[in-house]
Structure 1
Amino acid sequence: MNALLVDDSRLARTELRHLLQAFPEVTIVGEARHAAEARTRIAELRPELLFLDIHMPGETGFELLESLEAAPHVIFTTAYDEYALRAFEVNALDYLLKPISEARLAASLEKARAQRLAPALATAALPDEPAPAPLTMQDQVFVKDGERCWFVRLSDIKLFEINGSYTQIYFEQHRPLIPRTLQHLEARLDPKVFFRANRQQIINLKWIDSIEPWFSNTLKIKLREGPEVEVSRKQSVLFRELLSL
């Protein structure tokens, strides 16, 4: 993938260039210090991927995108978290907060690879659709329930719970509903962190406050600042196997 780095900070561009050395599939074709320069570079170099800062002299990163007839795939790189929702409204691949970690950068590039492969996969006669990229604990996910929206880090979600034909998400004081099944979520979540306690619930192991034996050799788990969850008999056996020395 050919990439263009757009940031008014030379230090930020240097740090990102250094991080990208760990990913040989990415070729940095150029840099730009502001939107006007980026517009010229995009026309000249035709990058497939844009690492784009938001606050820059003159125009913002959003204004740059609005001015382009056809924009590359975009990964925002910024020190501000308040623009995350707007970033996903313009179909950004990801939103990286500075300082950027190699793990978060790797997850973003996985999304870029998936987008790059999507047209070929759509036309290929494959028996099954490719599985979506797995999420890490540091990933942030967009959640919408009615007119309310959140951009929440997975590590802050303590529980996923079936509620009718929806799944309810527990984080902070919020309990939004999303039109996803637990099976879909389970396939995307890290199994070392998120555990399917029963048919109705997936818990974040990092939020466990206490565990106690329950009826018929099952377990009852209390989550910090949250509800108690009864683990099914089958999953209680698995839980002990997974977390025992």
Structure 2
Amino acid sequence: MNALLIDDSRLARTELRHLLQAFPDVAVVGEAKNAAEARTQIQVLNPDLLFLDIHMPGGSGFELLASLEIAPQVIFTTAYDEYALRAFEVNALDYLLKPVQENRLAAALDKARTQSTAPPILPPTEPAATPLNANDQVFVKDGERCWFVRLSDIKLFEINGSYTQIYFNDCRPLIPRTLQHLETRLDPKVFFRANRQQIINLKWIDSIEPWFSNTLKIKLKDGPEVEVSRQQSVRFREVMSL
């Protein structure tokens, strides 16, 4: 297995690299000290496994995963134990507390080996995988506040830290979901992925104007302006044109 070490602490990366020498089937192919470096390394090296810290300058480990279209297997390595539940919600293989113990590392690697040799899982066919209709209502909870909101009333989904913020009426609740997860449930005829950080409701578009480098800027009704990425600007023109 090819592994990428992602941690802002050089000492932590060095210690983990040393521990991994005891596992000859694991090759450390690179290191990154922040999310930006990690994204580049992942594209270039295509690792099988990420050893990922949570707190890093310029973006957390959760934000890095949310920005990836396809993520390798992940083992979190962190000094904080309060994010364990969140880690498994994003399908992490394991959650190792620093300083990493060799027996815990061995157990985590056993999980990675099992996953890599497991037969492929067939796509789900249950009705739950079908996109929700714009007229469907969804339950939203943020702290002590709850809403039952119609999807057609939601104008924007936007990454905010390790959560996604929902814009409807004057409300801005946070939910523990990634944009990738939301895309599997939202109707693509109504909701459009504008960039790595935002999904917009096409029915809430107020105006569109050309932007830098052949991109687009969209103004939402009673809402913020959204800059569409270059790739998604091309797709938007293709999908929305006659």
TM-score where L is the length of structure 1: 0.49
Q: RCO higher in 1 or 2 (8 Å CA, sep ≥ 6)?
A: 2
